Amino acid sequence: MNIVPSIMATKKSGPKTLRSTVTKIYLLTASALEESNITHSEHIPEWIIGRIGEEKEVSILGSEGPIIFKVIEEVKAEEQHYNLIADSSYSLAREALGSLVGQITKERSKKVEVNFYGLDQEMITGAIVGLELALYRFKEELSFGAISFFNDGKKVTKSIVDSALSIAQSINTARHLVNLPANILNPVTYANAVKKYFAKSTTMKVTVYDEKKLAKENCGLILSVGQASATPPRIVHLKYRPTGAKGKPTAIVGKGITFDCGGLNVKSGAGMGVMKKDMGGSATVMGFATWLEKSGVKKKVDLYLALAENSINELASRPGDIYTSRNGLKVEIGNTDAEGRLALADAMDIAITQKEKPEVLIDFATLTGAAKVSMGDFVTSMFANDDELADKLLKASQKNGDLSWRMPLYRPYYKGFKSNFADMNNMSKVKGGSIGAALFLEKFIGDTKWAHFDIFGWTSGFRPSLAQEGGSGQGVETLIGYFQN
């Protein structure tokens, strides 16, 4: 199973599928339109230039093929919300070029030239990322020719193109994993594929905790989640240690419920429909791992995938059952559909008790429907126990157009997890589901600085760059931005 999609912006289709035309894209800022003389092989009448300024997107037919002009909106700092949920120059450029992919592929030209005017390196990177994201398809081949990039008439350097492709392909990896069906991607095949992918890596070492090792480690919670499945749970540890890395490691944990039927508290048919995406947090972590391995980042990072399938048979956990976590807390099952927090809890405890104790722990999980209700599809609910860590992550999410908003860890709500028979219940009786889930996880982090992202992980149609229905790769750009700083 190939877990990384083979989509490349420089991909070429067979000659029979392409037309002998050249599609030329001009992506420019409004100021560049006013101040610069656009170099072009053909004369562009003044009235066309005027239309570009008024309409923001104009298509004309040149002697070699179609010519498309697209003006990027100027970045506007917002006084409200500390500018943390405003568009960035990177995200505006990403969506601007991403929105043109439909026209590019429709033309099926043998060559595509993308010309940037007035864009800085960050915007050029964003634009190429948007192009690559919008080209991704799960099942079909897109027909387009060789693509080249020019900035103010000069060819964009290979390092900039490669950097952008690395970002986009890591996001597409996360999307592709979410899009894989649960009969192909289960805890066992997932763990094996990750191990195979990094088998020859010099910076990433993979360790798999199978059901025997999980039992030996007393990981009673994740074992309880997967005990009704034909494919037993796994925790996958990816240890990134490049030459020259110093300091304490950062731990990143992803929820990987490869399918969630709800267990004995079975979901409705509609609620179960896209539950192959319940491993979206692990997909975020895995997508980021593919970028990290090639990034050259000189930091120690430990990544964990908490993998299980929440299924039903005579061995399924029941409401009222009590299981012991790796850190010794006894948890009563109030609802078998609150399983993601159980899988995460044992993985988080493994993360914080390693010989090299992490300074920071970050987790990503498609954890609650309440987060989607409060924030919608496009903005992630983020919780943190440290203000400095929260600020860094929020700024990274805004800069990279992967928006998050900090939610409160209102600890009085933890009383909702009271159990008469165990240390805690896995289901709170207090409203505020996303807050409650975060408070549950907080019991398994010790004194570590921690941030929790309750993601949706699925496309909403809001972003032109995410043309393929399915996984969105939410969270990958936030992590990349955080580690680039």
Active-site annotation, residues: 267, 341
Q: Determine what percent of the chain falls in helix, strand and coil, rounding each to the nearest 5.
A: 40, 25, 40
Distances, alpha carbon 259 to alpha carbons 182, 274, 285, 332, 334, in Å = 6, 9, 17, 22, 20
Dist CA 257 CA 260 (whole Å) = 6
Dist CA 188 CA 186 (whole Å) = 6
403 residue type, one letter: L
How does 345-367 read in b/e, with b if 16+ C-beta sit within 10 Å? bbbbbbbbeeeeebebbbbbbbb
Residue length, the chain? 485
Q: Residue 337 is encoded by which pair of tokens?
A: 């559909």
Residue in 372, 380, 370 with CA at minimum distance from that of residue 405: 380
Cα 356 vs. chain centroid, distance in angstroms?
26
User: Cα dihedral sign for 78, 435, 462, 481?
Assistant: positive
Find all residues with CB under 8 Å of 260, minimum gap 6, and list them: 267, 272, 275, 278, 309, 310, 337, 339, 340
Q: Classify burial at 436, counting beta carbons within 10 Å of its beta carbon; exposed 0-12, middle 13-18, buried 19 or more.
A: buried
Do 215 and 223 form a contact (C-beta atoms < 8 A)? Answer: yes
| DSSP H helix total and E strand total for the chain | 16, 17
Indicate the DSSP class of residue 222: H
Strand partners, 453: 364, 382
Do 346 and 219 form a contact (C-beta atoms < 8 A)? Answer: yes
How does 222-231 read in b/e, with b if 16+ C-beta sit within 10 Å? bbbbbbbbeb
Strand partners, 304: 237, 253
The per-residue DSSP string of 256-323 comes to EEEEE--TTSPPPHHHHTTGGGGGHHHHHHHHHHHHHHHH---EEEEEEEEEEEE--STT---TT-EE
Residue in 302, 288, 12, 87 with CA at minimum distance from that of residue 172: 288
